[in-house]
A and B are shown apart, each in its own frame.
Chain A
Amino acid sequence: MGISWIDQKRCNGCGRCELICPQDVIRLNVEKKRAFIKYIRDCQCCFLCELECPQNAVYVTPYRERRAVLPW
C-alpha cells in the first residue's frame, strides 16, 4: 500500500514532497498545482513526505506495495 493518500483539498502544490521523496514516487500536476502519487510501486513507506508536508495532506501506511520475499 505504501503512501496511501495525498488530500487534494489540503495540498497547496508547494512541491516539497515531490522534491524530497527518495524513491521519486510523487509528481506535481502543474496545471492543477497539486501533488499526486505517480509511481506507487516504488514507495518505501519511509514517511518523509508525510512528516514534511506543511499542509498535513499526506497519509502513509507502513505496508509495502511490492510483495516481500521472506527467508522462510
Chain B
Amino acid sequence: MEEIYSDILVVGGGAAGCFAAIKAKQNGAHTVLLVDKGYVGKSGCSKFAAGSFKCFIPDEDDFDLWFGKAIEEGYYINDQNWTKIHLKQVFDRVKELNSWGVDFLKDKNGGFERLEGQGSSEKRPIKTIMFHGPQLMDVLRATAQKFSVDIVDKTMITHLLHDKKNSKSIAGALGFDLRTGEHRIFKAKATILTAGPQAFKSHYAYQKMATGDAHVMGLRAGAELTNYEFTCHHLSCADFDTTGMNVLQGLGATFVNSKGEPYMKKYDPEYADRSTMNRLSAGMACEVMLGNAPLYFDFSHFDEKSLAYFKDTLPIMYRAFERAGYINNGTIKDRVEWVSVNMGNVGYGGGLKINTMCETSLNGLFAAGDAACGPASGVEGFCAYAIPFATTSGAISGIAASEYIKGSEDISPSPQEVRAYSQELSRPLKTLDGVEPDYLMLKVQELLFPMDIYLIRHRERLQQALARFCELGDEFVPFLKAYDPHYLRMAIEASNMVTCGELFLRAAITRTESRGSHFREDYPGIDNINWLKWVILTEDHGNITVSTEDIPIETYPMKSERKKYAYPIAKAMKGLE
C-alpha cells in the first residue's frame, strides 16, 4: 500500500480546507497535503455558496450589535470566545480573499456594497457583503497552489489512524483512489478535518457530497461531537433544488400561502419576509397545520434591475430557474412552490467539538468549517455566517496545526489499524449479495425529513425513528454492496448518513427543552435553568454515548438570566389554536 508523508494533512478542500492549507504553509509547515474526494475548487458546499457573506467591518459596523445578535440568534449556545475571535478576524480574511483575486461587489466609492438580507432590520442592521459565488473556490485552489500546497484530488479519506505508540494521538488517515480503488496511507504529524457538514443529501441545492465524513471519522477515532440536535432548516423550491434565497429576500421576495396571503409577520414580527431560515421553516409548518399549503415564494414582481442582480450574483441558480421554465426571456412566469428542508448541519450546528485553536479532543487532530460544531454561531447564526466561519476557522486551524508540529515527535500510524480498516474498506466490494447504498439513503431521508421529526419534535416520534436507525445500522450497513470504487464512495456516504442520523436523534431526545432549531412539542419552553449546556456525543466500543457539559455562561460577556422563557414559535402556535 502506498504511504504518503506530509507534515500536515488537510482532509477536504472547501473554503475551510484551502484556508487551513494556505495558512499552515505561510506559517512555516514544510509539506502540506490537501486531499479531496472531489476536485479542489469544484467541490464542497463552498463551491456553490450563494455569495452572501456576513462580515463585520470595523469602520462601518457596531461591534456590540453584531456580537449581541450573534449570541441572540445562537440562543446562548455559542462559545462566546469564538464569536468574538470570529468577528474580530473576519474582515482580515475578506481583505485577503480580495487581494488573492476574489471579486466582491463594490459600491461607487470602491467600498464593499452592503445588502439587506436575513436577520437584518432597519433598527438593527446586520448587512451582508457579496462575493462572486462560483469564482471563490477557483481562486482558493490557485492560491493554494501558489503557496505550494500539494493537492490530491479524487481521493476519499475514510478512517483516521492513531499513532502506534499513543492511542490519543492521530498520525494520519487512510483513504482510496476513486478511479482505481487503490488504498493509500496518509501519514502526517497533524491532521485537519475540513470535510464539511452532514447534509443528508437533502433537497437543497448542491450539497450531495456533504455526508458527515469528518464527523464519523472523528467520532470513530475517539473525538467529541456536539450541537447535533441543532439542524439547519433551509428552504427550497419543491420542484427542484434551489439556493440563494437570502439574496432574493434582500431584493424583496415574499412568502405567501395558498390563499395568496403573506404570512411571515405573524410568526416573526420584527423581520417578517426577511426572517431567518429556522423561523421561516417553523412558520411554514404552522401554515401547513392551518391547512394553508401549498406555500409559495414570490419574486414575480421583481423589476429588470433586481432580475439582473439575481442573474449576476446567482448565475447557476438563474440558469436552473430558466431551464425549469420559471424565467423566460427575462420575465418571471410565476411564484414558485416552496418547502422547508432539513439540511443537517450545513452552516451551523453539529460537528466536532473544538476549542478556540480548532483543537479537537485528540492530539494532532484539528477541525474547521462545517466539520466543526459551529461554535461562533451557536444554534442558528445568521444566514451567510457559514463561509465567513469557514475562512476564520480554516485560517486558525492551519496556524495552530503548524505550531503543533514544531514540538511534536516522530509519529507512525498503527499497522493493526491500517490492516483492519483496509479490510473494512474492501468488504462492500467483496459482498456478493448486499444492499445498494441508494436504499439506505432513501430510508434515512424518509425517517428524518418529515416535518414532525425535524421541525416539530416529540420524544415518542424521535424514539421510533431511532429504533429504525439502530436497525439500519445493525442489519443493513454491514451488508452494503459496492460494484466499484464509485459505489464504494456511495456506500460509505450512506453508512455515514445512518450514523449521523442516529447522532441527531440521540442528541434531540436528550435535550428536553426547546431552543433555536430544536423545537420540542413536549418541552415547548426555553429552559435556561437546566439547559445552558452542550450535548456531547462520543463513541464507546461501537456504541454512541451521550453526556452534557455546562456552558461557562458566567465567564462570558453576555449572560442569560437563569429562568425559563416561552419559545417564540410555540407562542405563535398557541395563538393559532
Contacts and interface: CB of A to CB of B under 8 A. Distances in A.
A62 B209 contact: no
Interface residue tally on A, bucketed by range: 20 to 34
B418 interface: no
A70 B339 contact: yes
Nearest to A67: B442
Interface string B292-326: 01000000000000000000000010011101100
B292 to A, nearest CB: 11
B241 A41 contact: no
Interface string A18-41: 011111100000000000001101
A42 B494 CA distance: 12
A19 B285 CA distance: 41
Contacts, number: 100
Interface string A59-72: 01111101111111
B449 interface: yes
B39 A61 contact: no
Contact of A47 (B43, B203, B288, B316): B316
B550 interface: no
Interface string B388-422: 00000000000000000000000000000000000
A69 B451 contact: no
Contact of B293 (A22, A39, A72): A72
B340 interface: yes
Chain A contact residues: helix, strand, loop or mixed:
loop
A68 B203 contact: yes
Interface in B42-68: 42-44, 47-48
A46 B324 contact: no
A35 to B, nearest CB: 14
A53 interface: no
B520 interface: no
Given A62-B320, A62-B323, A63-B324, A70 B238 contact: yes
B489 interface: yes
B445 A22 contact: no
B316 A46 contact: yes
Contacts of B323: 60-62
B240 A64 contact: yes
B241 A71 contact: no
Interface residue tally on B, bucketed by range: 35 or more
Interface string B227-254: 0000000000011110000000000000
A72 B451 contact: yes
Interface string B203-241: 101111100000000000000000000000000001111
A61 B325 CA distance: 11
A45 interface: yes
Nearest to A39: B486
A48 interface: yes
A20 B293 contact: no
B442 A47 contact: no
A38 B208 CA distance: 17
Contacts of A62: 240-241, 320-321, 323-324
B42 A22 contact: yes
B240 A72 contact: no
9 contacts: A21-B38, A24-B154, A44-B205, A46-B206, A69-B450, A71-B449, A71-B454, A72-B339, A72-B451
Given A20-B42, A45-B205, A66-B438, 7 more contacts: A22-B42, A39-B486, A44-B208, A62-B240, A66-B201, A69-B442, A71-B455
Interface of A: 19-24, 38-39, 41-42, 44-48, 51, 60-64, 66-72
